[in-house]
């Protein structure tokens, strides 16, 4: 069997970086492989099986072949065992929050409570180690590694609904059980633990007996477990109208391995999600968001249909700062914009009830993800299912904030059927590209003082095809463009092309900020961010603060400080400046080149030094030319 170091030597740099980040190790020089290998090899915090568990099966086979090991078999666990040693095939000893007081878990070792000792959990899934009641950093990654090991050959798009559906069911069951225990303790005072109204009054979903997690967990080894989960989902929808048609109900289908389904149930069973303490930490929210991101990565291009990377969402939310009012996303995916808006309000000590949320999503399965994503956080939202262009479910809405990431360059939006639509105030968008249909839809739904922030492909800033240039010109001349941000490439799972952010303001003089009429801010953030693996880049907290802080200073937010142009990064341009550039909104045209750092050496001294260096190099070149000529002459090739 190879040593841990020998196996680590086979990993690529981005795989080593992911393992270092997952385990929280400090490595001085992350640019080269050897310090990463050394740190992981020496650390007990980085079990080899756990590191290997994050890799796909095809990659594990490659490593086995490179080390002259047998690469046969379809089970990831078997491949990991060959590389890491017998008995270590479970890739994740996931650090998980301890049981909530009323979660009903009776299978963990009592020594576990408060002791931090290993508590081996019965069941077919990976062994879980409890670590008190606080989920440490990396908890989500460890849980993902365990869940992914059970995926086997199931397609990520299919597995997503299996895992996220079970996580949701576990959450509402935990929350129900916590409230049930509380009511049981108050039975002498007249409380009824089996009264659905007691739960609805506390904004907790009622879970009927056949849908409670303990019932499902007890039945996990049975071949009928798929049908039982479907029955549970249907019962919850029946008794909770807000979840009607939302939950997945195809766990009983023949193609789903019931043994693996039982193993996943056992895995999820050992994570407390819905107790009071866990809800306060947003444990389930963290797990759900992390899994959404990982599924988006696993699905590649199609993953972009339901997930916008968190840093991109945060830029939009931090810049718009939606403290109060109506927030609208007409292509809301899995609801990330709304979740981030709520987090922003909480972080800035606002009141969650101060915003109303409206959304629409055309993809049915994605709409279901959004409804579950918001439900687990207790976010009350009006999320409609349907085609936004052809069946606008919020026709009369005038929003204070529009936040959106519409499909890029959508050519299949059936625009030819909407040529005379009332939303096309600035020109009819081309049937072959929906970019400016989205822009005008956003404008149509803005309140008189509303702000919009959205993502579009870079081509939207300069395209003149099919009348797009004229539409953009009309929007600019209406003085609606408040800010343009060019982002770096490789931020999205669905596309590697660079994208931009548009910020529109219905009224640039509205009393909230300074009078910005006739001005637009351009930000070039293409050089920001850091690569997290070979194909994906992320914006750091410092990058987000710099972008949002610059915009806030420019528009005159209170306590944002003074604004000044920074060559190569930001420029406050006038409407006349934009006209001179042919109404093109590419930030690079306006911000100019980054100022070169002065080295403090006087010009005359620098020129004298450079001239002397040049003469020395010319003399050396002459010597080399003479030596080459002499060698050629010796060989009989003299001139």
- The DSSP element (H or E) to which 505 belongs, if any, is strand 499-505
- Give the Cα separation of 325 and 401 in Å (integer): 7
- The DSSP element (H or E) to which 171 belongs, if any, is helix 156-185
Better-scored residue on pLDDT, 36 or 91: 36
Tens-place pLDDT, residues 390-422? 999 999 999 999 999 888 788 889 999 999 999
| Percent over 90 (pLDDT), the chain | 35
Tens-place pLDDT, residues 430-470? 998 999 999 999 999 999 999 999 999 888 999 998 999 99
- What average pLDDT is seen over the chain? 80
Please give the angle made by the CA atoms of 34, 37 and 40, to the nearest 5 degrees. 150
Better-scored residue on pLDDT, 636 or 628: 628
Better-scored residue on pLDDT, 253 or 268: 253
What is the β-pairing status of strands 481-486 and 530-531?
unpaired
pLDDT score at 161: 74
Which of 299-308, 312-321, 338-347, 376-385 is modeled with the greatest confidence? 312-321
Question: Contact, 54 vs 60, CB < 8 A?
Answer: no
Going by pLDDT thresholds of 50, 70 and 90, the confidence category of residue 619 is very high
**Mean pLDDT within 630-635:** 87
- Give the Cα separation of 430 and 477 in Å (integer): 20
Query: 319: closest CA among 567, 555, 591?
Result: 555
Query: 351: closest CA among 323, 311, 376, 371?
Result: 323
Question: Contact, 109 vs 120, CB < 8 A?
Answer: yes
- Give the Cα separation of 419 and 428 in Å (integer): 6
pLDDT score at 277: 55
Going by pLDDT thresholds of 50, 70 and 90, the confidence category of residue 307 is low
- By mean pLDDT, which of 50-59, 90-99, 200-209, 614-623 is the weakest? 90-99
**Mean pLDDT within 183-191:** 90
Q: Tokens 């609904």 label which residue?
A: 161
- By mean pLDDT, which of 482-486, 514-518, 634-638 is the weakest? 634-638
Structure tokens at 292: 């959404």
- By mean pLDDT, which of 152-156, 159-163, 263-267 is the weakest? 152-156
pLDDT score at 588: 92
- Sheet bearing 499-505, strands edge to edge: 381-385, 355-361, 325-329, 399-404, 446-457, 499-505, 481-486, 519-524, 570-574
Query: 371: closest CA among 325, 334, 419, 417?
Result: 334
Is residue 66 scored above 50 in pLDDT? Answer: yes
Task: List b or e across 502-530, with b for residues whose CB sees 16 or more CB atoms inside 10 angstroms.
Answer: bbbbbbbeeeebeebeebbbbbbbbebbe
- By mean pLDDT, which of 67-76, 96-105, 276-285 is the weakest? 96-105
Q: Any residues with CB less than 8 A from the CB of 71 and at least 6 apart, and which?
A: 60, 61, 62, 64, 65, 79
Better-scored residue on pLDDT, 155 or 373: 373
Q: Is the pTM of this model over 0.75?
A: no
Is residue 543 scored above 70 in pLDDT? Answer: yes
Tens-place pLDDT, residues 471-514? 999 999 999 999 999 998 877 655 566 789 999 999 999 888 99
Is residue 137 scored above 80 in pLDDT? Answer: no
Is residue 550 scored above 60 in pLDDT? Answer: yes
Better-scored residue on pLDDT, 53 or 328: 328
Is residue 520 scored above 90 in pLDDT? Answer: yes
- The DSSP element (H or E) to which 356 belongs, if any, is strand 355-361
**Mean pLDDT within 180-194:** 91
- Give the Cα separation of 495 and 45 in Å (integer): 34
- Give the Cα separation of 247 and 257 in Å (integer): 20
Is residue 331 scored above 80 in pLDDT? Answer: yes
Classify residue 242 by burial, with Cβ atoms within 10 Å: 0-12, 13-18, 19+.
Answer: exposed
pLDDT score at 423: 96
């Amino acid at each position: 069997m190879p040593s841990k170091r020998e196996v680590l030597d086979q990993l690529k740099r981005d795989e080593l970086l992911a393992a270092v980040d997952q385990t929280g190790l400090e490595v001085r020089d992350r640019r080269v492989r050897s310090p990463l290998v050394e740190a992981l090899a020496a650390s007990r915090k980085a079990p080899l099986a756990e590191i290997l568990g994050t890799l796909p099966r095809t990659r594990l086979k490659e490593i086995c072949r490179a080390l002259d090991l047998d690469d046969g078999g379809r089970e990831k666990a078997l491949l990991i065992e060959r590389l890491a040693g017998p008995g270590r095939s479970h890739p994740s000893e996931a650090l998980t929050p301890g049981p909530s007081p009323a979660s009903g878990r009776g299978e963990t070792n009592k020594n576990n409570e408060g002791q931090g000792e290993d508590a081996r959990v019965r069941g077919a899934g990976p062994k879980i180690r409890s670590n008190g009641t606080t989920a440490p950093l990396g908890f989500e990654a460890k849980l993902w590694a365990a869940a992914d090991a059970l995926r086997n050959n199931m397609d990520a798009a299919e597995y997503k609904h299996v895992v996220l559906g079970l996580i949701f069911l576990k959450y509402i069951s935990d929350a129900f059980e916590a409230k049930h225990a509380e009511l049981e303790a108050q039975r002498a005072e007249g409380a009824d633990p089996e009264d659905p109204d007691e739960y609805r009054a506390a904004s907790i979903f009622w879970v009927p007996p056949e849908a409670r997690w303990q019932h499902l967990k007890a039945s996990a080894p049975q071949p009928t477990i798929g049908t039982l989960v479907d029955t549970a989902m249907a019962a919850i929808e029946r008794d909770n109208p807000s979840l009607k048609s939302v939950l997945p109900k195809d766990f009983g289908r023949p193609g789903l391995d019931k043994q693996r389904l039982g193993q996943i149930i056992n895995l999820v069973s050992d994570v407390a999600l819905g107790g009071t303490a866990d809800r306060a930490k947003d444990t389930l929210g963290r797990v759900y968001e992390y899994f959404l991101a990982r599924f988006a990565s696993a699905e590649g291009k199609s993953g972009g249909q339901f997930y916008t990377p968190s840093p991109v969402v945060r830029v939009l939310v931090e810049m718009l700062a939606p403290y109060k009012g109506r927030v609208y996303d007409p292509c809301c995916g899995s609801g990330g914009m709304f979740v981030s808006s709520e987090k922003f309000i909480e972080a800035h000590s606002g009141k969650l009830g101060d915003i109303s949320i409206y959304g629409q999503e055309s993809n049915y399965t994605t709409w279901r993800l959004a409804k579950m994503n918001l439900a687990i956080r207790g976010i009350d939202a009006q999320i409609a299912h349907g085609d936004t262009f052809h069946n606008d479910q919020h026709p009369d809405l005038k929003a204070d904030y529009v936040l959106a990431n519409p499909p890029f360059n959508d050519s299949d939006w059936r625009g030819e059927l909407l040529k005379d639509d009332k939303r096309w105030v600035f020109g009819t968008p081309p049937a072959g590209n929906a970019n400016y249909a989205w822009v005008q839809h956003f404008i149509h739904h803005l309140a008189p003082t509303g702000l919009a922030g959205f993502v579009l492909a870079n081509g939207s800033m300069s395209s003149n095809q099919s009348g797009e240039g004229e539409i953009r010109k009309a929007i600019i001349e209406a003085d609606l463009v408040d800010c343009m941000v060019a982002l770096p490439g490789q931020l999205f799972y669905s596309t590697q092309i660079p994208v931009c952010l548009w910020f529109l303001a219905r009224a640039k003089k509205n009393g909230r900020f300074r009078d910005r009429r006739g001005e637009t801010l351009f930000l070039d953030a293409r050089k920001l961010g850091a690569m997290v693996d070979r194909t994906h880049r992320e914006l750091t907290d410092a990058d987000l603060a710099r972008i949002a802080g610059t915009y806030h200073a420019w528009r005159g937010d209170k306590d944002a400080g003074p604004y000044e142009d920074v060559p190569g990064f930001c420029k406050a341009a006038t409407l006349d400046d934009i006209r001179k550039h042919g109404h093109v909104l590419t930030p690079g045209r306006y911000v100019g080149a980054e100022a070169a750092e002065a080295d403090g050496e006087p010009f005359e001294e620098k020129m004298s030094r450079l001239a002397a260096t040049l003469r020395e190099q010319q003399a050396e070149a002459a010597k080399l030319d003479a030596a080459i000529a002499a060698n050629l002459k010796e060989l009989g090739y003299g001139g």
